[in-house]
């Protein structure tokens, strides 16, 4: 199973489908084949492992399939993995995590009905960690929401004159771009579009666009200007004419978005916090003092310290002179996100 999890991590962290790995074992414990899911539209991990076994000349009849997620039981872009395993003559399936997707689950039941022995729950915690935001998004029926904040030590996102480039360091910005490359969508408010004219692209160390570009989502009813950088190279531009975070997430869920990064500004951040749909906060804090200027978070309607939004830090990283704090609302489950790590980080 540890090897299957290693294979699963090779799959993309973004996209509508989960990261899954599979290893086929013979009666003597020898590896007959292995595979992983490489993204939407490609063979699932079980089919990839069966293909690998066939190319090796391995006979998989009576084999054990070790897979990180319950084999699917539905026909989408590919056929049901549960039936493919049955038809291949696999005798036993060991899985880490049962599929939370009602459209795809049921593979274990189909396998058992066909006489295949099924064991579930091996290294389940590690399996959910590899699945990351996908698991929570599918379980809840809405995208996993990461709120990103980049601010001075006194909580400002810009100076009094509106200038904000750059509060945080190059190391923090590099890390943030790596995070963008892992999510399905980036959301900002229409006010941020007017004030900052962001491009909302994911760029590598050489400033070129990465292979995966997330959807660029503008929340609000004001049209994006014709000459805005959002209309330039990058991910698809999507405008959602609403100020209700629940409506925004429903629209993104309809587009099979599993992980959305809310980047700003203060008004949008406050709206998502008030709606209690923020699953994780990434706060990049720079050792800079401004004393005035807009705050990172807008009005939350909190009048007393007892009503404060309390977060629990789960990770703290050093990024050059800055600090990244990854936190979740109190009472939330242990985080399943895969934090982007760079060589400059120190815990």
* Residues classed as catalytic: 46
> Which runs of consecutive H residues, i.e. helices, occur in 18-155?
45-56, 81-88, 107-113, 124-131, 133-140
Number of Cβ within 10 Å of residue 204's Cβ equals: 13
Q: Report CA torsion sign: 21, 93, 143, 310.
A: negative
Residue from 168, 158, 196, 192 nearest 290 by CA: 158
Residue from 55, 83, 81, 52 nearest 68 by CA: 81
Number of Cβ within 10 Å of residue 130's Cβ equals: 27
Main-chain phi, psi angles of 145, to 5 degrees: -110, 120
Asked whether the beta carbons of 127 and 263 are under 8 A apart, the reply is no
Residue from 287, 321, 288, 295 nearest 172 by CA: 321
Task: Say whether the peptide bond before residue 304 is cis (omega within 30 degrees of 0).
Answer: no
DSSP 190-214: HHHHHHH------B-TTSPBPS---
């Amino acid at each position: 199973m540890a090897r299957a999890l290693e294979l699963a991590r090779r799959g993309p962290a973004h996209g509508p489908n989960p990261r899954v790995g599979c290893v086929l074992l013979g009666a003597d414990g020898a590896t007959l084949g292995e595979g992983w899911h490489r993204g939407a539209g490609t063979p699932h991990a079980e089919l990839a492992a069966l293909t690998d076994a066939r190319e090796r000349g391995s006979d998989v009849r009576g084999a054990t399939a070790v897979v990180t997620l319950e084999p699917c039981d539905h026909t989408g872009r590919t056929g049901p993995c549960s039936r493919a395993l049955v038809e291949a003559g696999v005798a036993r399936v060991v899985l880490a995590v049962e599929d939370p997707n009602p459209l795809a689950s049921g593979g274990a039941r189909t396998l058992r009905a066909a006489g295949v022995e099924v064991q579930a729950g091996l290294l389940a915690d590690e399996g959910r960690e590899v699945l990351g935001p996908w698991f929570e998004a599918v379980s809840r029926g809405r995208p996993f929401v990461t709120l990103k904040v980049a601010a001075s030590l006194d909580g400002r996102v810009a100076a009094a004159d509106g200038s904000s480039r750059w509060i945080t360091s190059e190391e923090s910005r590099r890390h943030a771009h790596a995070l963008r490359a892992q999510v399905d969508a980036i959301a900002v408010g229409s006010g941020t579009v007017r004030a900052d004219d962001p491009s909302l692209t994911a760029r590598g160390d050489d400033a070129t666009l990465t292979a995966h570009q997330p959807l660029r989502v503008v929340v609000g009813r004001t049209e994006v200007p014709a000459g805005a950088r959002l209309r330039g190279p990058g991910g698809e531009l999507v405008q959602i004419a609403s100020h209700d975070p629940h409506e925004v997430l429903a629209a993104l869920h309809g587009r099979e978005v599993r992980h959305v990064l809310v980047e700003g500004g203060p008004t949008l951040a406050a709206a998502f916090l008030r709606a209690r749909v923020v699953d994780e906060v990434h706060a990049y804090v720079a050792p800079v003092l401004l004393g005035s200027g807009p705050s990172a978070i807008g009005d939350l309607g909190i009048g007393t310290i007892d009503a404060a939004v309390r977060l629990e830090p789960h990770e703290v990283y050093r990024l050059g002179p800055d600090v990244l704090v990854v936190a979740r609302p109190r009472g939330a489950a242990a985080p399943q996100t895969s934090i982007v790590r760079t060589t400059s980080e120190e815990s």
